[in-house]
Amino acid sequence: MRNTARWATTLGLTAAAVCAPLSGAALAAPGNAPSALYAPSALVLTMGHGDSAATATPERAVTLTCAPGASGTHPAAGAACAEMNRAGGDLDALTVSEGVHCTLQYDPVLVTVDGVWQGRRVSYERTFSNECVMNAHGSSVFAF
């Protein structure tokens, strides 16, 4: 039941994030399509303590929309979008912040990212050993 509720919440937020940017111009008839259409980039990020999505309950969730502009409930949407652009949308390619020193304490933190990045489906799950290590990877993207 816990996992079902998590996925229902994630799918609902993903649908809201992906559909929200569609407005009159984007919904225009194909023959009247504006020349400035963009590939959607809308993500839902969740964070919770645990080793896997099956056992971790999301404690925080944010939306991040990067096209046509940075928006969403992410507290650093502009910086997070810039970082995602530098990584080409590859969450595994996010760089580790230099000069960050974390303890070796094991308190697993699970991050999930679901949605669309430049028109491609994204589904990402990663467990970090603790919140400090999570924040050191993709300092803006996972800072929520």
Q: Residue 23 above 60 pLDDT? A: no
The 10s digit of each residue's pLDDT in 102-130 is 999 999 999 999 999 999 999 999 999 99
Q: Is 117 exposed, middle or buried (0-12, 13-18, 19+ CB in 10 A)?
A: buried
- Domain membership of residue 118 (yes or no) is yes
- Cβ-based burial of 25 (10 A; exposed 0-12, middle 13-18, buried ≥19): exposed
Mean pLDDT, to the nearest integer, of 37-49? 89
Are the C-beta atoms of residues 48 and 110 closer than 8 Å to each other? yes
In angstroms, the CA 21 to CA 95 distance is 29
Count of CB atoms situated within 10 Å of the CB of 109: 22
| Enclosing domain of residue 127 | 2-21+35-136
Q: Is 142 domain-assigned? A: no
Is 143 domain-assigned? no
Beta-bridge mates of residue 61: 46
Residue 10, domain member (yes or no): yes
What domain count does the chain have? 1
pLDDT tens-digit map of 84-101: 999 999 999 988 878 888
Q: In terms of pLDDT, which residue wins out, 107 or 34?
A: 107
- Tell me how far apart the alpha carbons of residues 3 and 58 are, in angstroms, rounded to a whole number: 10
Q: Does any domain span residue 65?
A: yes
83 Rama sector, left if φ>0, alpha if ψ -120 to 50, beta otherwise: alpha
Q: Is the pLDDT of residue 2 over 90?
A: no
pLDDT of 76 above 90: yes
User: What proportion of the chain, given as a percentage, has pLDDT over 90?
Assistant: 51
Any domain includes 92: yes
Check: CB of residue 125 under 8 Å from CB of residue 112: yes
Q: Is the dihedral of CA 19, 20, 21, 26 positive or negative?
A: positive
Domain contains 30 = no
| DSSP for residue 47 | E
pLDDT for res 21: 47
The domain that holds 62 is classified in CATH as 3.30.350.10
